Amino acid sequence: MGTKVATTNGDPYLLTADGIKEPPTGWAGSLRYLGPGLIVSASIVGSGELIATTALGAKVGFVLLWMVILSTAVKVAVQAELARWTILTGKPALTGFNEVPPRIGRIGWINVLWILMALSKFLQIGGIVGGTASALSMLIPVGGDPLSATSLGVWTAIVVAGSIALLYSNRYSLIERGAFALVVVFSIATVVIALGLPFTPFSYGGGDVLSGLTFTIPAGAIGAAVAMFGITGVGADEITFYTYWCVEKGYARWVGPNDGSDEWKARAQGWIRVMYKDVFVSWIIYTVGTLAFFIMGAAVLHPQGLVLEGNEMITTLSQMYTDVIGEWAAIGFLIGAIAVLGSTLWASIPSWSRMYTNVLATLGVLDWNNQAAREKWVRGFIVVLPILWGATYLSISSPVVMVQIGGVATGIFLPAVVVATWYLRRTQVDPELHGGRWFNVILLISSVAITLLGLYSLLKVFGLGGD
């Protein structure tokens, strides 16, 4: 699960014969080699599930349950295909994106779009900083009212400074394990409550669930649905940064440099199968969490007409728990919300730091293959990014809107990721190492669905997508 598995043997981005390791077989042998997907899950089970999905359930009720399931499932094949290319080449996503023509000077057009998405993500991740600060402020107010500018400002500064200290100390594996454990505990509690709702005044039945599987979108809910589709499950950013964790876990280094031999191909297939298991486990985790949050929003908030607005978001969400199991649950919810949003923030900071460093390397600012320079830039972004995200939140202070804007931007970038994935598959992946027939069918369906989402998101930007 940690991020230092491969670094003890040298640079994980440098493929050498002495880094080769034979892959395990079966689930029992593979479990200790899973991890990149757990880091991604720690990032996913946060803003998307706790904010966007719950907001959608509160707005429309059960009717879009089908879209929640689709949004988590449809992107997985693209994630696995891009990770396959990374394992075979040892290169992370933005290096590959830069090789997709046409190019604008030193930079490829997809990386230009990535830069635009990254700027919009200041809003989304700023919203996560704000949500975490709001939960902490409600738990321990500073200077009076929990949602006052003073208390929120103090807690935002603490969240930012604490994140930098924890990550800059290079003890990320410990933080990731602790944060992930808290996410699992909170998600399990949420699932238990969601399954227990039929025995409370906020009961729902099989008819409600079936009504959510009718593939309809009510008027006025399209915008929220698209934002949710873009942000839940693996988004464009998670698909991209998953490749870095696959490398740093050791998958590519253990496959070794491509010498064209049958042994290399067999070893590559073995580690790709481990990656499949890693992706599958993470998909189960965030899909179950997503469904639970949506059902709670639909069953508890929607019938009461409760909506998510501004800094009151955490108050409204905590009402899901206090209404079901009593006022004492508010403290438990706030601690859980801090764990969920905090784990997202803590997983996002090192991931985005790697991507920013990589895109600068494609511009010639540094040599990506120089491990010392690369790590220096990554540490620099670990300091700078949380500060900028915190400042963004304090200047806007509307976590829900901020997260949804980031979700739409992610939806727009997804088709570019699809284009890059197919280009790299066609030009740099041996056909013998492509997925099987069913995987390729699912990959095609996934790619079409993602592209349609991106086109709709683009139309929305120009006011042509309806509501």
Ramachandran class of 366: left when φ > 0, alpha when ψ lies in -120 to 50, beta otherwise: beta
Q: Is 240 left (phi over 0), alpha (psi -120 to 50) or beta?
A: alpha
**467 within some domain:** no
The number of distinct structural domains making up the chain is 1
Domain of residue 83, residue span: 7-461
Is 361 inside any structural domain?
A: yes
pLDDT, residue 1, reads 45
Q: Please answer whether residues 139 and 338 qualify as being in contact, where contact means their C-beta atoms are separated by less than 8 angstroms.
A: yes
Q: Which residue, chain included where needed, has tokens 């698909």?
A: 239
Q: Highest mean pLDDT range out of 15-29, 83-97, 380-394, 429-443?
A: 83-97
Amino acid identity of residue 83, one-letter, is A
User: Could you tell me the CATH number of the domain that includes residue 457?
Assistant: 1.10.4160.10
Question: Residues 404, 408, 410, 411: what is their CA dihedral angle, to the nearest 10 degrees?
Answer: 140
4 pLDDT above the threshold of 60: no
Strongest mean pLDDT among 144-148, 188-192, 343-347, 419-423: 419-423
Is the distance from CB of 113 to CB of 105 less than 8 angstroms? no
Instruction: Write down the pTM of the prediction.
Output: 0.85
Q: Which residue pairs, CB below 8 angstroms and at least 24 apart, start in 425-428? A: 425/81, 425/84, 425/85, 428/85, 428/88, 428/89, 428/96
Give the pLDDT confidence of 98-147 residue by residue, as tens digits.
999 998 888 999 999 899 888 878 877 888 888 888 888 888 888 777 77
**Tens digit of each residue's pLDDT (9 = 90 or more) over 200-245:** 677 777 787 887 777 777 766 676 676 666 666 777 888 999 999 9
* Cα separation, 101 vs 44, whole angstroms: 30
- Locate all alpha helices (DSSP H) within 45-171, ordered by sequence: 54-60, 65-73, 76-89, 93-97, 109-139, 149-168
Cβ neighbourhood burial of 207 (10 Å; 0-12, 13-18, 19+)? exposed
List, for residues 135-179, the tens digit of each pLDDT value. Answer: 888 888 887 777 777 888 899 999 999 989 988 875 556 655 766
Residue 405 maps to a domain = yes
204 Cβ partners below 8 Å, 6+ apart?
A: 62, 197, 198, 295, 298, 299
Q: Among residues of the chain, what percentage have pLDDT more than 70?
A: 78
Residue 392, pLDDT score: 86
Alpha-carbon distance 28 to 14, whole Å?
28
Is residue 320 assigned to a domain?
Answer: yes
Residue 1 lies in a domain: no
Report pLDDT for 171.
Answer: 55
- For residues 456, 460, 466 and 467, what is the CA-based torsion angle, rounded to 10 degrees? 100
Tell me whether residue 225 is in a domain: yes
